[in-house]
Amino acid sequence: MAIELTCIVCPRGCRLLVDENLNVTGNSCPRGAAYGKQEIMDPRRTLTSTVRCDSKQFSVCPVKTSGTVPKDKVLDVMKAVNGAVAKTPVHRGDIIVKDIAGTGVDLVATRDLID
Amino acid sequence: MKTIDLVIIGGGSAGMAAAVSAYDQGIRDILILERSDVLGGILNQCIHNGFGLHEFKEELTGPEFLFRFVDQVKERKIPYELQATVLSISPNKVVSYISPKGSFEIQAKALVVATGCYERSAGAIGMPGERPAGVISAGQAQLYLNQHGYLVGKKVFILGSGDIGLIMARRMTLEGAKVLGVAELMPYSNGLERNIQQCLKDFNIPLYLSHTVTNVIGKGKLEAIEISQVDEHLQPVKGTEKRFDVDTLLLSIGLIPNNGLLDKMGAKKGKTRGSEVDDSLETTIPGVFSCGNVLHVHDLVDYVVAEGKTAGISAAKYLKGEEKGHKEIETIAGPGIGYVVPSRVNVEDKEGSVELKFRVSRPSKNVYVEYSQGDKVLMKVLKLAIIPSEMEIFKLPKKLLINDQEPIKVSLVAKE
């Protein structure tokens, strides 16, 4: 039985069919084929959120995981995100939490906050 | 009164892109007026990723994307003023604005208006019931959460399946709120497919298509909402009511170009509720250009930026006194097409192509998009699927045009 998926790699949102041999059809680009395979074997997401920050401009600093994390660990990562704090000055790419929730990826700032 | 070559109203992605491209065309006397405390506009609150695949060939979050442009503005030392609210612009381009430094009038030689869009409200759709605290637009809730750190509620229902609503469904879920569902009046979602997947399905949030909110209950504070199914005429069907006990109702029911300044200046309005423009993005007032969401609401910031660049280049040409050709033809949104931007295209020069942006009025499968002049079909393109939530961009080669008088009509035609 082939499994139907919506590709989330780009805004186009192709409808993918992945068969039991992990052959992907319906994709418009190689990234879609890679996503289809990955989504069946080990679904992963990039998580974006905010952490508390002492900046006068914004009370929170936007962050993201530097790579994808397993989909079923997203809520664990969120718990760690909610305990984290960014200290000004913050620069894009600054590591806020290393190896967040044991996922092997870092939590990094996605904007500058320099008061 | 101080005179400035190019005044750009709005320091979001469209305005910054316009400033940078005008600068790169040799214009040096530029001023960006930005209403809020920071450059970047709406992207400051769009902390999710998915931006920049066209512009930078990589996936960025909103803040990362906007900072690429802030860097470009700063590298060029283009002046900008923050907390500067433009009150009005006279038809001869005198800009009146206030900022913490005082109130000012400046004479602009050229203007780019890039003031974005605003959210449709509960009143605009005549939503029934009370108006307690807890009914809030999705973008406003996003601002509170992503810039100020406040979660507006714990039990949430969302009306409207546009992208902001979907993104907020995920965002509030991640922050610990329970999102009970999303209702959409139409039988299809107006959001991107991938957002249906990663924002709703990933979190098992139900999407109620062909449903709308038929009652809002609560004195002072929201207590519950009621949704009902709608029939093919979009009228609620009695007996299909469902009640949800919630403390928050988010509205994601459409965006409207924030076109008030151009309206008051007397620029002619188009079908998009933005101004009519030609293919250089000039409004009906010479030297006044419009781009980004104030012209028509976009799905992707990459296209907003592309439009900003066009407006910047056109403003530079205007300032240098470069003549545009005088032969112009109109564009028409034919059957099945909601609108076409631009409203007029210059055909003096026969080289290259005409870029037409449009949206269809309803989802269709196996149809032709037909480009015609009078009775003559210039070109038709088969579309296996076409939906209103995705803006179409088509480059029509100018050499196909049969004359320089008859308008170009875009229509949806069923496949035989």
Q: Tokens 């497919």: give the residue.
A: B193
Residue length, chain B? 416
- In a domain, residue A115? The reply is no
Residues A62 and A30 in one domain: no
Whether B146 has a pLDDT exceeding 90, the answer reads yes
Is B67 within 8 Å of chain A by CB? yes
> How would you classify the pairing of strands A44-45 and A85-86?
unpaired
Which of B290, B319, B348 terminates a domain? The answer is B319
> How would you classify the pairing of strands B155-159 and B178-184?
parallel
Residues A61 and A32 in one domain: no
| Rounded Cα distance, B318 and B282, in Å | 10
Residues B132 and B229 in one domain: yes
Task: Encode pLDDT of B10-30 as tens digits.
Answer: 999 999 999 999 999 999 999
Residues A35 and A58 in one domain: no
Between the CA of residue B411 and those of B310, B323, B372, B403, what are the distances in Å? 26, 32, 8, 19
pLDDT band with cut points at 50, 70 and 90 for residue B346: very high
Residue B191 confidence (pLDDT): 87
> How would you classify the pairing of strands A60-65 and A107-109?
antiparallel
Distance from CA of A21 to the nearest CA of B (A): 23
**Cβ–Cβ gap B174/A74 under 8 Å:** yes
Q: Which of B192, B204, B387, B391 to mutate to test the interface with A (most CBs of A within 10 A)?
A: B192
Between the CA of residue B332 and those of A59, B59, B102, B253, B393, what are the distances in Å? 48, 35, 45, 26, 15
Which of B285, B319, B353 terminates a domain? The answer is B319
Mean pLDDT of B232-242: 97
> How would you classify the pairing of strands A107-109 and B2-9?
unpaired
Residue B361 confidence (pLDDT): 93
Residues B16 and B107 in one domain: yes
The count of structural domains within chain B is 3
Lowest mean pLDDT among A18-32, A84-98, B35-49, B284-298: A18-32
Using an 8 Å Cβ cutoff, are B295 and B341 in contact? yes
Residue B187 confidence (pLDDT): 93
Which residues of chain B make contact with A65, given a CB cutoff of 8 A? Answer: none
Residues A35 and A60 in one domain: no
Residues A56 and A82 in one domain: yes
Residue B201 confidence (pLDDT): 94
Task: Encode pLDDT of B54-76 as tens digits.
Answer: 888 888 999 999 999 999 999 99
Residues B58 and B14 in one domain: yes
CATH number of the CATH domain containing A104: 3.10.530.10
Q: Tokens 């009143």: give the residue.
A: B123
The count of structural domains within chain A is 2
Mean pLDDT of B114-143: 95
- Considering just the CA atoms, what is the radius of gyration of chain B in Å? 22
Average pLDDT along chain A? 93
Residues A63 and A99 in one domain: yes
**Six token digits for residue B325:** 């050709």
Separation of CA B386 from chain center:
19
Q: Tokens 């418009």: give the residue.
A: A28
Nearest CB partner across the interface for A60, out of B49, B59, B146: B146
* Beta-carbon pairs below 8 A across chains A and B: 79
Whether A1 has a pLDDT exceeding 80, the answer reads no
Mean pLDDT of B114-123: 95
Residues A60 and A23 in one domain: no
Distance from CA of B10 to the nearest CA of A (A): 19
- In a domain, residue A114? The reply is no
Whether B416 has a pLDDT exceeding 80, the answer reads no
Which of B298, B319, B340 terminates a domain? The answer is B319
- Considering just the CA atoms, what is the radius of gyration of chain A in Å? 17
Residues A60 and A103 in one domain: yes
pLDDT band with cut points at 50, 70 and 90 for residue A12: confident
Say whether pTM exceeds 0.90: yes
Q: Which of A71, A77, A111, A115 to mutate to test the interface with B (most CBs of B within 10 A)?
A: A111
Residues A10 and A63 in one domain: no
**Cβ–Cβ gap B196/A6 under 8 Å:** yes
Residues B76 and B128 in one domain: no
**Six token digits for residue B351:** 């080289």
CATH number of the CATH domain containing B210: 3.50.50.60
**Six token digits for residue B401:** 């045009």
Mean pLDDT of A65-79: 96
Residue B390 confidence (pLDDT): 87
Residue B376 confidence (pLDDT): 95
Residues A65 and A20 in one domain: no
| Rounded Cα distance, B109 and A24, in Å | 56
Residues B243 and B140 in one domain: yes
Average pLDDT along chain B? 95
What residue numbers bound the domain in which B308 lies? 2-118+256-319
List CB contacts of B136: < 8 A, sequence separation 6 or more: B152, B248, B249, B250, B251
Which residues of chain B make contact with A3, given a CB cutoff of 8 A? Answer: none
| Rounded Cα distance, A69 and A71, in Å | 6
Q: What percent of chain B has pLDDT over 70?
A: 100
Is B107 within 8 Å of chain A by CB? no
Using an 8 Å Cβ cutoff, are B224 and B200 in contact? no
What residue numbers bound the domain in which A83 lies? 48-109
Mean pLDDT of B255-278: 96
Which residues of chain B make contact with A92, given a CB cutoff of 8 A? Answer: 63-64, 67
Cross-strand partners of B249: B135, B157
Residues B410 and B338 in one domain: yes
Residues B146 and B213 in one domain: yes
**Cβ–Cβ gap A60/B67 under 8 Å:** no
Residue B119 confidence (pLDDT): 96
**Six token digits for residue A93:** 């790419």
Residues B240 and B141 in one domain: yes
Task: Encode pLDDT of B371-390 as tens digits.
Answer: 999 999 999 999 988 888 88
Nearest CB partner across the interface for B61, out of A5, A58, A64: A64
Residue B308 DSSP SS3: helix
Residues B25 and B76 in one domain: yes
Residues B72 and B27 in one domain: yes
Is B58 within 8 Å of chain A by CB? no
Residues A56 and A104 in one domain: yes
Residues A76 and A105 in one domain: yes
Residues B289 and B304 in one domain: yes
Task: Encode pLDDT of B272-325 as tens digits.
Answer: 999 999 999 999 999 999 999 999 999 899 999 999 999 999 999 999 999 888
Which residues of chain A make contact with B197, given a CB cutoff of 8 A? Answer: 5-6, 8, 13
Residues B233 and B216 in one domain: yes
